[in-house]
Amino acid sequence: MYRYVLKNVWRDWSEEGAQERQQSFGRICKELRARLGEPPQQGAPPPHVLVPGCGLARLCCEIAGLVCRCFVWLCAVILQGWYVVVAHV
Question: How do the pLDDT tens digits run along the chain, 89 residues long?
Answer: 667 777 878 888 889 989 988 998 889 888 888 888 776 677 778 788 888 777 677 787 787 767 777 666 666 566 666 666 665 55
Q: Measured in whole angstroms, how far is the alpha carbon of residue 19 from the centre of its chain?
A: 15
pLDDT at 19: 92
57: containing domain = 2-85
| DSSP label of 52 | E
User: Beta-carbon neighbour count of residue 33 at 10 Å?
Assistant: 14
| Total number of domains constituting the chain | 1
Which of 29, 38, 82, 76 has its CA nearest to residue 57?
Answer: 82
- The Cα 55–Cα 83 span in angstroms is 12
